[in-house]
Structure 1
């Protein structure tokens, strides 16, 4: 029996969200500052939660470990660090639990364990969306060297990764419910308490064909019926005991 689609959806989306969240955590590209005073027009600052890099749009040269005590002293920075790291760890824990519940090597899945793993994955997605949303809300209020501030790609990756983890965890949690767990792909709850689910093969339906009896109408257009074709209505010649096998070879008028 194949793995249910709802479990496949949860198991596939969770690692994708994990990769996006990991990229958003380590990359110094949460916001971009342009038109910095006393700097060349092509110089930009790439600020993240762990590091600040100075890059050039013409030479592609990047110099990281730029000091900025004012930026790192903001309240959002340590909170974002803690929540993003916790989100990654909880996602790994949720995947480990969910994989143990999915029937990759067994005949039937363990919906309860898969649902518990989905709860951890859902929680990790929420822990990712909180700092990303908070940083997006105040990223223009954080002091900067210039007023030309735009969000970086880490913001978009964090949003997409968090939403994917929320959807993945929700799918696994829904699969744990009785309305979906075991009621798809021919699985039904077994009356035996020792077996949670059993597969019931589809039995062929027996179609009762009704018998049609035609009543004979008195106003039939046929002047006779099969019952009248007997010897009582039509006289028949009685067979003779002798058969005349002789014939005359003389041509008669009837032969012409």
Structure 2
């Protein structure tokens, strides 16, 4: 039996989501602050959950390790740090559990093991979406040096990665719940194929047909019978007599008679 498509779908989406979550966790761009007082117009302050960097649009220079004690003291930053790291570790654990159950060197995949890995991957996606959604909700209320606050690309990557992990884990859980006796590929379950029912072919029945013999009736609709035909004398045709040949012709012969 080949690997069902739902398991392949989950095993493809999960690593892709993990890469996006890793980028969202490490990169310092959860939000951007522009038009900072006392700074040039091209200065952009990029704030993440681990670091703060100052970027310049004109020179493409980036200065990281910017101090901001008030920002890192926020509760959402501490919660986001813990949940994002936990999400990355749980995703790796889920892939490690699901891989032996999905591998194709066996006759049938181990759907229970693959489903348990899918549950871990699903939970990792939820742990990614929770801090990102919370941060997006209170982003403008976190103290900042300017009122021009914009969403960073880490928020977008985190949302996409978390959704991919949720979908991949859910697909693998669905396979486990359906307990795939071939249902995901339209195949017959193994138990159904093992059953063998012997049907005895019915023997042909002999039907006695009554003999239909009719006695010859004395009364006949024919006005005569076969025996009476011998007594009837039908008139017979007369045989033509011999033609008389006149040999006393003494006429002169013609050319046609020669």
Class of the TM-score when normalised by the shorter of the 2 chains: 0.7 to 0.9
Per residue, is there more helix in 1 or in 2?
2
**1:84-95 pair list within 5 angstroms:** 84-95=84-95
Structure-2 residue corresponding to 1:49: 49
Structure-2 residue corresponding to 1:245: none
Instruction: Name the CA distance, whole Å, in 1 between partners of 2:127 and 2:12.
Output: 19
**1:2-13 pair list within 5 angstroms:** 2-13=2-13
Instruction: Name the CA distance, whole Å, in 1 between partners of 2:180 and 2:50.
Output: 43
> 3-state SS of the aligned residue for 2:87?
helix
How far does residue 164 in structure 1 lie from its aligned partner after superposition? 0.3
Structure-1 residue corresponding to 2:81: 81
Alignment check: 8 A CA contact 2:181 2:188 kept = no
Alignment check: 8 A CA contact 2:33 2:144 kept = yes
Matched, 1:60 2:99: no
Instruction: Name the CA distance, whole Å, in 1 between partners of 2:47 and 2:168.
Output: 30
Instruction: Name the CA distance, whole Å, in 1 between partners of 2:194 and 2:56.
Output: 63
**1:194-213 pair list within 5 angstroms:** none
Structure-2 residue corresponding to 1:103: 103
Structure-2 residue corresponding to 1:22: 22
Instruction: Name the CA distance, whole Å, in 2 between partners of 1:190 and 1:56.
Output: 65
Structure-1 residue corresponding to 2:232: none
Superposed CA RMSD in Å reads 1.8
Relative to the length of structure 1, the TM-score reads 0.73
Alignment check: 8 A CA contact 1:53 1:62 kept = yes
**1:222-241 pair list within 5 angstroms:** none
Instruction: Name the CA distance, whole Å, in 1 between partners of 2:184 and 2:156.
Output: 36
Structure-2 residue corresponding to 1:136: 136
How far does residue 183 in structure 1 lie from its aligned partner after superposition? 1.2
* Deviations 1:67-123 (CA, angstroms, capped at 9, x unpaired): 000100000001000000000000000001111110332221010000000000000
Instruction: Name the CA distance, whole Å, in 1 between partners of 2:90 and 2:68.
Output: 31
Instruction: Name the CA distance, whole Å, in 1 between partners of 2:78 and 2:193.
Output: 51
> 3-state SS of the aligned residue for 2:141?
coil
How far does residue 189 in structure 1 lie from its aligned partner after superposition? 3.2
Alignment check: 8 A CA contact 1:31 1:47 kept = yes
Larger of the two Rg values belongs to structure: 2
Alignment check: 8 A CA contact 2:94 2:121 kept = yes
| Structure 2 residue ranges without an equivalent (≥5) | 196-258
* Deviations 1:136-165 (CA, angstroms, capped at 9, x unpaired): 000010000000000100000000000000
Structure-2 residue corresponding to 1:125: 125
Paired residue total: 195
Instruction: Name the CA distance, whole Å, in 2 between partners of 1:105 and 1:190.
Output: 19
Instruction: Name the CA distance, whole Å, in 1 between partners of 2:17 and 2:81.
Output: 17
